[in-house]
Amino acid sequence: MGSYTVARAFLDIDGITRQPGWQVELPLHRALKLYRWGYIVGPVYRPVPPEPWQVIHGTARRVTSREENVAGLASAIALANDLKVSINDSYADIADHTTAPDPNVIASPNPLTIPALITIVTEMLVSYNAHDDDAEIAGPGPWAYHAAQEAGDHTLASVAAPVNLQECITRLNDIKAKFNGHDADATCHGVGSNHQVITANADYGPVVRFSVRGAESTDLIAWGILDAGTGTVVGVRATPGDSYVDFEFDADPQNDCIISYMVSRKLP
């Protein structure tokens, strides 16, 4: 029966993402099935010479997660690296820590993955909490590192070790706020405000990355939103890469947007 050319655009309503300019050639029975499922706009066109596509991966229902948020991980890593530098420089600054420098510097390597991020954030929580405790000691001391009791409270909201990316982001943003406040406190420091962290708070973006074994950058992605979730997001585009697919929305899809997708590749 040969292959048939089906419509060049997928639905642009109800969360189905438009893929302009793409033309898919499929066996007629498969084209009609996709039409019935609502993935195809317009008629099935005339028969064309066979040009088959192979479906290499498909998921009928996948829930987005902030653990897969691209900007969330990238911004958390950037903030963790800046905090590490500022905290370590502050601890070693004898102009600020007039009693003695704090030797409990952050030793974990700069993170590239969520497990490595959890490790360094956990170390920061323990280290900064102990350092700030020294500044909380009332006069006349003694203080191990500081010149006097701090003028304000810079206690962390939680010192519980994070277990995922979301908790890392929450802890990192809190560490930044409390460390900057502590660093600016000229009562317990010789100078103050010498080591402010200026990197923006960690935050989530509109792209989530799903691992898809065997995916390639030239693959075709057909996808749709089944439930727009709390953020009532709209799909923008899907971009395949080396064993992953990035799904972009108009806002952070949070933890409850549900999509379906299919990864196809033209056979040689």
Q: Average pLDDT of the chain?
A: 86
**Rounded to two decimals, what is the model's pTM?**
0.81
Q: 146 versus 26: which is more confidently predicted? A: 146
Confidence band for 34, pLDDT divided at 50, 70 and 90: low
Confidence band for 36, pLDDT divided at 50, 70 and 90: low
What phi and psi, each to the nearest 5 degrees, are found at residue 97?
-95, 85
| pLDDT value at 6 more than 60 | no
Cβ distance 40 to 34 under 8 Å? yes
| pLDDT value at 190 more than 50 | yes
Q: 44 versus 218: which is more confidently predicted? A: 218
| pLDDT value at 44 more than 90 | no
- What pLDDT score was predicted for residue 206? 98
| pLDDT value at 97 more than 60 | yes
- What pLDDT score was predicted for residue 51? 59
- What pLDDT score was predicted for residue 56? 87
Q: What are 267's two structure tokens?
A: 């056979």
d(CA 192, CA 183): 6
| pLDDT value at 20 more than 80 | no
Q: What are 117's two structure tokens?
A: 């991020």
- What pLDDT score was predicted for residue 9? 36
- What pLDDT score was predicted for residue 266? 84
d(CA 204, CA 262): 25
Section 61-86 average pLDDT = 98
**pLDDT by residue (tens digit) across 205-235?**
999 999 999 999 999 999 999 999 999 999 9
Q: What are 225's two structure tokens?
A: 């939103």
Section 161-178 average pLDDT = 98
- What pLDDT score was predicted for residue 50? 52
Burial of 84 (0-12, 13-18, 19+ CB in 10 A): buried
- What pLDDT score was predicted for residue 92? 98
Q: What are 114's two structure tokens?
A: 């969520």
Domain ranges of the chain: 3-67+204-266, 70-184
Which residues neighbour 161 within 8 Å (Cβ) at sequence distance 6 or greater? 118, 121, 122, 125
| pLDDT value at 94 more than 60 | yes
